[in-house]
Each structure stands twice: as C-alpha cells, then as structure tokens.
Structure 1
Amino acid sequence: MPEIVLAHDYLVQCGGAERVVAHWASAFGSRTLYTLAYSPQGTFDQFRDLDVHPSIHGSLTAQVERLLPALPAIADRTVVSGGDVALVSSSGWAHRFAYQMPHVVYVHSPARWLYAASDYRMRLSPMRRAGLWASTPLLRHGDREAMRRAASVIANSVVTRDRIREAYGLDAEVVNPPVEPVAAEARAPRHPLPDAFTLCVARDRGYKNIGLAVAASRVAGLPVIVAGSGSEQLDRPEEGVHGLGRVTDAELAWLYRHADVVIGSGREDFGLTIIEAALEGTPAAVVPAGGYLETVSPGVNGFHAGSATPEDLAVAIRAARELDPVASRTWARRFGLDAHVGKMSRVLEEVVQRA
C-alpha cells in the first residue's frame, strides 16, 4: 500500500465527512493530514493522534466559515507534501490545495455556496449574500480548474456523481462512505427523555430541514429528539421537542438503539445517519430525494415519504415503526468499512502506478 497523506476542508465539527476521514486515518495508517482549520475540541478525538497541518491558526479557526472571501486564496496556498498519494475529502476547498503528489478527490458534494446556492445563502446576511452572488462566476472558474487537476474523482453517492457531472463535466466513480457502529458501548444522555420518540441527527443548518422532522413527528403523535450542534436552541420539552445539542458517540449510539424511527428530512448527498441507525436495528422515515434514495430500501430499513410534507412524512414514520430490526441491520452491513477500503485502495494504487 502506498503512503497516503490525507486532506480535508476543515476540522471544526463532528459531521459525516469528518467521520469518513477518521475512518481513513485508521484504515490506511495515515499519520499526516492537511486542512484549512483545526479545532481539536470541536471535532472527533481520533484526529488528536495525527500530525495535523492547519493553514489558519488562532482565533480565526472558530470563524473559518466567515472567511469565505479569503478562503480560495488560502486554499490555493496550502501546500501538501510527503507520501506517495493524497486522499482528499472535499465539499468545497480541499481539492484546491497545492498538491506535490498525485491526488484522489472524494467528493461529498460540490460546493453548496457555488452549485446549491439556495441551501447556503439562506444563512448569510444580505450584504454577504450579494457579495457571494457577484463573485460566483469567478469562484466557479477556479473551482472547476482545481477539480480537473485531480488524478481521480470519486463521488460518495449517485446524486453526487450527477452533480459532479453537471458542475465540472467529469465522470466520477461512486464509492459509498464507510459506515460502522458509532460506538461499542451506549450511554444515555443526561437529559430527561420520553420512552418513545423519533430521532433527527442534524446540525442546525437550513438544508437539514429540522423543522420538517419536528412537524412530521408531531403529526405522527411522537416527541422528537434532535441531536447535533446548535440543536440545543430548539429544546422545548413541553412541545415535544428535545434539542440535545452535540452528543458523544456513546450517547448517539444510545439514541440510535432506543429511537422508534430516525428521520431524514434534509437535502442530503448520502445521509450517514440513516445507515448508522440501521446498524442498531432502527428504521428510517425520509423524504424521497438525494442520498436517501440509496440509503433506504423501502420496506427493509425504512420508507420514503410520498412527498416532503409533514403529513406524508408522518405516514412513513408510522409504517417504519413496524419493520423488522434484523432486516435493517442486514441492509446496513453492505455499507461497511471493508467494502469501502477495498474500492478506495484499488483507486489509489492505480493512481500511483500511473504517476
């Protein structure tokens, strides 16, 4: 196996993309990781054992997303060296780094602020929204040039493959993310919780559409637990909404195991949480779009709603509660780490041989 250097946009949160990179570090024995910003307390503990090279330091680390106008230039000047090949996790920036070796880009999504602007700009002030709109043509030009420098481009799902083709004019192979149980032991959160509940695992981002999950749970007659950074702002137990904020992996495992149904209500490119829940025997009720079309097998580990409305999603919630936990676990195992590593190893070795 060649020596593999890792790269990722920025390590400041506990999201699905960060979990994928953590799996890579362990599976490929990688010790070096390049990124724009690194907050050890804000992301998974596994990265503490790596030699992490951030381009942004100090107090600016916590404000990395607010540095959007400067990020293209910072990314372009982030030099990645050492190793035989770089494995790049990107949803916007890491593919722009200056690689001194062949590199493979694993795309979680083409940059939302460039190619799915309605998802991203809703979080910006009117002034920043106008600035992004004006600079989009130039940003897209640089983004496309950077992606075309990759030795190979991999998509995390079929929907991402289609978006890559539309954004960059490139054909990408699909390799689904590795999904393993989030923790060996489960621990109940220190928060009074109902006996029966739906679960929505999502950071408080507009495209996650947490409001739909809350509304659908209410129609289905179940309280909802929301876990993820920022969700503590939604905590209204008297209204059947329990916002826990960021939880540990052990607490997340407990929530997966005890939830009646996990809800997928956002615009996801894959949706790791659906498979993580299925590994614990918990079915899903999801909107009929994006990565959920791959991660949910109707009648096996969940159901797609007839439409993205609270009423139709509630129908899917009620139906999912009747599914067999064993079938959910069996379905989820096909997305395991071994299958992912086997496919990615082949791609990496082919790239090194061509170099």
Structure 2
Amino acid sequence: MPRIAIAHDYLTQRGGAERLVLSICRAFPEAEIHTLFYEPDQTYPEYRGHRIRTSVLNRIGPFRRDPRLALPLLAPVASRMRIDADVVIASSSGWAHAFPTRGRRIVYCHSPARWLYLPHDYLGQAGRLDPKRLLLGALTPLLTPWDRRAARQADAYLANSTVVRERIRKVYGFDATTLFPPFSPDIAEGAQEPIPALAGWAGADGTEGGHHLVVSRLQPYKHVDRVIEAFRSLPDQRLLVIGRGPEGERLRALAPPNVMLVEGLNDAQMRWAYGNARALVAASHEDFGLTPLEAGAHGVPTLALRAGGYLDTVLENVNGAFFEEPTAAAIRECVERAAASTWDATAIRAQAETFAEDRFIDGLRSAVAGLGIEPTSEPISGREGGRHG
C-alpha cells in the first residue's frame, strides 16, 4: 500500500502554518511528520499525539527554541532529511521542500523563502552592519541555487494564496495551483475561557469584551507597532495583542495603558479573545493570513491592509474593511470608520465557511490522487535525527 509522509520546516511556534499542518494530519491521520526542529512547549499540544521525526540539530536546545540561530546549517541538514515514503506532502516556507525522498513530492508553499526573496521583510530594520544582515548577505548566493534546485524536484506545487502563486511564478518560473488554507476548527468551536492576565484591564475580573484584536507573530514586517501607535490616539478603545516574537520586548515598552500584549494562550482562551472582540486588526503584508477567517468564524469583522493574502479572504463591507497603508493614521481612520458601520455576523460567518477545513482536505486529497497513487497511509521509517510521539 502507498505510504504518505508530511514534512514541515519546524514545529517551534503557534502560527498559521503550524495549524495548517494539523489540517494535513487530519487529511492523512496515519502519516508521520518530518521536521528540522520540534519544541513541544512552543507549538500546539495536538502534536504530542503524532509520530514526529526531527533532524540531528534538534538535540541542541538553543537551535530548537530559535531555529534562526542555525541558519548556516539548515540547508545541508535539510538535504539529509531523507524520507522513505511513496508521497511526501511538504508544508514549506523554505526548507521542507528540500527534504529528499524516493517517492513523489507535493509542496504546499506558504511562500518562497522570505530571507532569500524578501529580505527586507525578514530583516526588518536591521542596520547595514547587523550580524543577521551580514550573515544573510554571505549565504544568499549559496542558498538561492540550492532553493531553486529543490523547488524543481517537486511533482506538484500548491500555493496558499494568489500572491504566493504569483511569487512562485516570478521566483521559480513555473505555475502553481492555488489551494487556500482552512481556518482552524479548534478556534471556531468549543468552550471559551477568559484570560487571567486581563484582570484589571478588561474589567475587574478580565472578562469584559469589546476589545480590538491583533493575532500575530511579533516580527518587524507584521507592523504591530503601527497598530499600537494608532490606539495610542484612541484611548477609549482597548487593543489586545496576542503573539510572541523578537519584537515582543520593544512592543511592550511601546504600549500605552489601553494596549495589552499576551502570549501562550490555549485554544479556549483564543476562542474567548476572538468571540468577545469588536474587530480584528491585520496590518501586515501577509501571504495569506488565516486570522480573518478565524475571526469570521465568530462573526467578527477584520480591518485589514489592502494587500497580499487579505485580498483573498476579506470582502469589503461584508466581513471587513480595508486601509490603504500600514500607518497609524490610516489604521485609526479605519477603526473609526468601522465603528460607525453595521456588521452582519451571519454574512461574516458565511464568508469564513467558504474556507472550511473539509474543502481544503478534499483539495489536498485530489492533489495526491492526481499523482496516480491512492492516498492511504502506513507507518514510515526515517533515518535522520530523533523520533517523538
């Protein structure tokens, strides 16, 4: 019987790509996961129930907690992550598409590597002599041909959005099929749990809703600082920011009293944050961006930058509104405009349902079937690194 395996760059955070891999697991529940790093305490607890194989670098704690520290080593190690399977589904933003296999390979591309093709997004405001910029400058001439060779080895390429499909065409010179990610059923359904850290900020016991919400990794290109600055001039409005990342300390220092930053929430607390929000604010140039769908599943509108993947998921005046540039002034104007609008929660939920998980799973299984191999799964053996689960 044909065997299916799942590959992913690394499981070290709680983001949209990591949630998407859980959806792939639900499509092929017996498939083993292969990844460079796995840090159970930093990603979704559902992974504890899966068989996971990691690279040899996973034994090094600092690398496991922050894979960017291992950047010079990742290409050669990825090239040794051999997977013995008939079909590998690689969820990739730069590494998993290069894991070698004797079988067929489908790449689900979140974006061609940002550090190679969108270095400004990756580096943010790092100075000319910043060590990260110097290191990336030295590695780019080596990593670019390696990355393009790996991309050409795929049997099928799936793009997670219209903008990523165009980026794949520009970077690799071939066409990809668009398969939109689903929103997570774990966020949309189930009990809600208030966030203890909000006591005294969202009412005495922390259960007062009506906040605006940002759910984002705290990276420079996410423009969370611009959203915080917008709410500095809206002192009667509360902004809840959920996420972690290298910008965390700076953003906490920047935040006025009506802005609260939290991290490490469980799914029930995320459901409370979404379900009690007035609106989601999404200010970054996202390749896709699942958060408008997660908010929409709760009937909550999104105020988004008119760019990137938000053009796929946000219908103006149906499930959200747009601002034209990621500036504090533009964000503030959009918040005020949305507050004066009337939103139909039923229509918002209907838009989210067009991205439901069953549609994604059907599309992924169809891609596997298109290879001429019936999609069934059995345990898979690997050779590199350790095994978990």
- Category of TM-score, reference length = shorter chain: over 0.9
- Larger mean Cα displacement after TM superposition, 130-139 or 169-178: 130-139
Where does the alignment leave 5 or more consecutive residues of structure 2 unmatched?
Answer: 203-207, 375-389
2:84 is aligned with 1:81: yes
2:360 is aligned with 1:340: yes
Per the alignment, residue 265 of structure 2 pairs with 247
- Larger mean Cα displacement after TM superposition, 312-321 or 260-269: 312-321
- Give the alignment of 1:251-262 within 5 angstroms: 251-262=269-280
Q: Kindly state the Cα deviation for residue 353 of structure 1 after the two structures are TM-superposed.
A: 4.3
RMSD (Å), alpha carbons: 1.9
- Give TM-score scaled by structure 1 length: 0.94
Per the alignment, residue 141 of structure 1 pairs with 145
Contact 2:27/2:365, CA 8 A, preserved across alignment: no
Q: Secondary structure at the match of 2:183?
A: coil
- Give the alignment of 1:100-139 within 5 angstroms: 100-122=102-124, 126-139=130-143
Per the alignment, residue 303 of structure 2 pairs with 285
- Larger mean Cα displacement after TM superposition, 321-330 or 91-100: 321-330
Per the alignment, residue 187 of structure 1 pairs with 193
Matched letter for residue 162 of structure 2: V
- Give the alignment of 1:198-237 within 5 angstroms: 198-220=212-234, 221-230=236-245, 233=249, 234-235=251-252
CA distance in 2, matches of 1:320, 1:270: 22
Matched letter for residue 145 of structure 2: H
Q: Kindly state the Cα deviation for residue 185 of structure 1 after the two structures are TM-superposed.
A: 1.2
2:44 is aligned with 1:40: no
* Cα distance per residue 1:169-202 (max 9 Å; x no partner): 1100000001133151111111224343210001
* Cα distance per residue 1:108-151 (max 9 Å; x no partner): 01111001000112376712311211321221111001011000
Per the alignment, residue 172 of structure 1 pairs with 176
- Give TM-score scaled by structure 2 length: 0.86
2:326 is aligned with 1:326: no
Per the alignment, residue 70 of structure 2 pairs with 67
Greater helix fraction, Structure 1 or Structure 2: 1
CA distance in 2, matches of 1:187, 1:292: 28
- Larger mean Cα displacement after TM superposition, 240-249 or 8-17: 240-249
- Larger mean Cα displacement after TM superposition, 4-13 or 213-222: 213-222
Structure with larger RCO (C-alpha < 8 A, sep 6+): 2
Matched letter for residue 144 of structure 1: R
What's the % identity of the aligned pairs?
35
